[in-house]
Amino acid sequence: MDTQVDCELMEEIKEALQNNDLLLVAETIQKCLDKLNNTPLNIAITGGSGSGKSTFVNVLRGIDNRDKERAAPTGVVETTSEVTSYPHPNYPNVTLWDLPGIGTTTFPADKYLEHVGFDKFDFFIIISVDRFRENDVKLAQEIQKMGKKFYFVRSKIDNNLRDEERSQRKFNEETTLAQIRENCIKGLQKLGIETPQVFLLSSFDLHLYDFRLLEETLERELPALKRNVLLLALPSVSLEIINKKKEALQANIKYYAILSAVVGGVPVPGISSAVDIGMIAGVVTQYKVVFGLDIPSLERLAQTTRVPLDDLRAVMISPLAAKKITPDLVMKELQHRDMSVMAAEEVSRCIPILGIPAAMGLSFISTYRVLSTFLDMLADDAERVFKKALGLNTSV
């Protein structure tokens, strides 16, 4: 998470703690967590007919094109005639918008933005299957005038590489990619875009080519909270993204630990442990979704990669990954680990005057330690699943 945002959230919590009002502290922490988890993100995807924009919408949501109920319709002809929203299946605050190609509507560039509802979008991705055209540039220039970001994506690069390999005696993938990128950039510069950002992608091989560069660019240019939301919602298509997700989730553990400490200040034996176990179960469930280890996400991954679901599940070592997360499962896992801190927390409540502050401190430590351990376990499983899905060596 962005350091400045983290400091701002912690300052809010600090002010509430200084008021010595535990209810206010709990409300402040919950507000901070809502900011982290529910900030809206609206991504506009546009391009000409057959450019692959609907497939790109689907793959960012982890949805197979063949999913008739939830997938954006795809085809070699224009399938998008109106602005269509596609919420992320796991993050309803993240919405991808499939926009009609500007060349397929009767609206000029400036009227087009008004037609599609420009204001609600955080950034635009303009997709082309070959070269970018005048209409794409006009749209980009209008977006720029209104102070928002746009990115050019050259899609279906895997097809281009196959064609080039068949036609060249001495084929070099890196050289071919550099030539395609340079041609796109020069073409856009001739049409009036001074420093175009062009990313070469294949929606069916998102772990290859420029997707990591696109992710890093968005991470750099989005506001901090929206950057965090995007990262957690992205499919885990690289070990780098999995590691970044882990770092983002690790940075948030302190908020749950502080909330645990607040509950630890309630002078009722047993209540802190019960609340902590329930909260931990909820947070770990979120971890599974973020890493794509929940059953619906694994089923979608199995469908898109053609790797059997049982094979993906077989490489997961953590019992947390293999089962539905419940308070009973969390308690069972904790019984196999060091429970001394949690036990000491309950004992400290019986100590006059200093007992409650001590219990709060121990509650913070135990929750932080448990969530960090569970996060490590699930992140390792996410790496194993990723490698299995790609047919790589699954040792971590």
Q: Convert the pLDDT of each residue in 158-178 to its tens digit.
A: 988 988 888 877 888 999 999
Is 218 within the bounds of a domain?
yes
Residue for token digits 């790589």? 392
User: How many Å apart are CA 77 and CA 58, to the nearest integer?
Assistant: 17
Same structural domain, 223 and 277: no
Is 380 within the bounds of a domain?
yes
Residue for token digits 């001394």? 340
Same structural domain, 242 and 137: no
Q: What is the DSSP string of 9-37?
A: HHHHHHHHHHTT-HHHHHHHHHHHHHHHH
Is 268 within the bounds of a domain?
yes
pLDDT at 138: 86
What's the domain range around 332? 236-389
- Lookup: tokens for 299: 């089923």
Report residue 396's pLDDT band, with 50, 70 and 90 as the boundaries: very low
Is 18 within the bounds of a domain?
no
Is 8 within the bounds of a domain?
no
Q: Given a cut of 70, is residue 6 above it in pLDDT?
A: no
Q: Mean of the pLDDT values across residues 222-247?
A: 92
pLDDT at 285: 94
Same structural domain, 44 and 170: yes
CA-based angle 97:103:105, to the nearest 5?
A: 70
Same structural domain, 185 and 61: yes
Q: Given a cut of 90, is residue 48 above it in pLDDT?
A: no
Q: What's the total number of domains in the chain?
A: 2
Same structural domain, 204 and 319: no
Same structural domain, 177 and 49: yes
Same structural domain, 365 and 381: yes
Contact 292, 236 (CB under 8 A): yes
Same structural domain, 102 and 212: yes
User: Rounded to 10 degrees, what is the CA torsion of 67, 72, 73, 76?
Assistant: -120
pLDDT at 352: 44
Same structural domain, 342 and 260: yes
Contact 206, 292 (CB under 8 A): no
Out of 233, 258, 278, a domain closes at 233
Residue 85's DSSP bridge partners are 97
Q: Which among 389, 152, 167 is positioned nearest to 292, based on CA atoms? A: 389
- The proportion of the chain whose per-residue pLDDT surpasses 90, expressed as a percent, equals 34
Out of 216, 233, 250, a domain closes at 233
Output 89 or 356, whichever has higher pLDDT.
89
Out of 233, 267, 282, a domain closes at 233
Is 86 within the bounds of a domain?
yes
Is 212 within the bounds of a domain?
yes
Q: What CATH number is attached to the domain comprising 165?
A: 3.40.50.300
Same structural domain, 242 and 228: no
Report residue 189's pLDDT band, with 50, 70 and 90 as the boundaries: very high
pTM, whole model, 2 decimals? 0.82
Is 62 within the bounds of a domain?
yes
